[in-house]
Amino acid sequence: GENVEQHPSTLSVQEGDSAVIKCTYSDSASNYFPWYKQELGKRPQLIIDIRSNVGEKKDQRIAVTLNKTAKHFSLHITETQPEDSAVYFCAAKKGSDSWGKLQFGAGTQVVVTP
Amino acid sequence: DVKVTQSSRYLVKRTGEKVFLECVQDMDHENMFWYRQDPGLGLRLIYFSYDVKMKEKGDIPEGYSVSREKKERFSLILESASTNQTSMYLCASSSQGLYEQYFGPGTRLTVT
């Protein structure tokens, strides 16, 4: 099955600096890669996603890049703010799956210090 | 606005008890999912359902069963709770073909 590895497990950044989280996946046919943000005590929420026919996608201060050859994708947060502190999960959907089942990474705890 | 609700935020049960966790979504989504969330392990899929009365095992189905009698409701059942099932349980739903999953607030289950 699909296996998604996520690094680092924790990330501490100064406010205003950038944060990068990287995920690798095993199934070369995977075709959908979302990122979810989970604030303390809250439910995970989708913040950005990318499909395999696109190399990069941006939404204000966040961006996701996909390298299909290397089978990895990354989340970039620029100009970090305290409200970016949360656990971030990457995920991948197998290309053969039509139901939208996702394989999640283990998560990255991001702490933004003022 | 999609709303996914779960029957309890916190639940304490004894070993061997039968436990029911319920999830309801109000957006007419075809797909519903049950995950457990443990530190350092991310979200692991227990079961999912793509239609009423249709279900498939996820990655960790052992010790669990599910029921989907109505489109909006998906229940997770622990037939005989054990201490290693102490965890946060998250329900999610999605519309067929759109892939974004909407999560419920979670149920923190403690089995003593």
If DSSP states are collapsed to H, E and C, what string results for chain B?
Answer: CCCEEECCCEEEECCCCCEEEEEEECCCCCEEEEEEEECCCEEEEEEEEEECCEEEECCCCCCEEEEEEECCEEEEEECCCCHHHCEEEEEEEECCCCCCCEECCCEEEEEC
Residue A108 pLDDT class (50, 70, 90 cuts): very high
Residue with tokens 């989708």: A46
**pLDDT computed for residue B2 by the predictor:** 65
Residue A1 pLDDT class (50, 70, 90 cuts): low
A89, B58: Cβ pair inside 8 Å?
Answer: no
Select from B36, B38, B43 the residue whose CB has the most chain A CBs within 10 Å, as the one to mutate to test that interface. B43
* pLDDT at residue A37 greater than cutoff 90: yes
* pLDDT at residue A20 greater than cutoff 70: yes
Query: Mean pLDDT for chain A?
Result: 94
Query: Mean pLDDT for chain B?
Result: 95
Nearest by CB: B42 against A42, A99, A104? A104
Does A34 or A99 have the greater pLDDT score?
Answer: A34
Q: Chain B: residue nearest A4 by CA?
A: B42
* pLDDT at residue B65 greater than cutoff 80: yes
Give mean pLDDT, residues A29-34.
Answer: 94
* pLDDT at residue B74 greater than cutoff 90: yes
B45, A102: Cβ pair inside 8 Å?
Answer: yes
pLDDT digits (tens, 9 = 90+) for B6-61: 999 999 999 999 999 999 999 999 999 999 999 999 999 999 999 999 999 999 99
3-state secondary structure of A82: helix
Give mean pLDDT, residues B80-100.
Answer: 95
* pLDDT at residue B4 greater than cutoff 80: yes
3-state secondary structure of A13: strand
A44, B103: Cβ pair inside 8 Å?
Answer: yes
Q: Which of residues 24-53 of B touch A (CB under 8 A)?
A: 31, 33, 35, 40-45, 48, 50
B109 interfaces chain A, CB cutoff of 8 Å:
no
In this structure, are strands B107-111 and B10-13 parallel, antiparallel, or unpaired?
Answer: parallel
Chain A: give the shortest CA distance to residue B4, in Å.
10
Please give the Cα distance from B55 to B65 (Å, whole number).
10
pLDDT digits (tens, 9 = 90+) for A70-93: 999 999 999 999 999 999 999 999
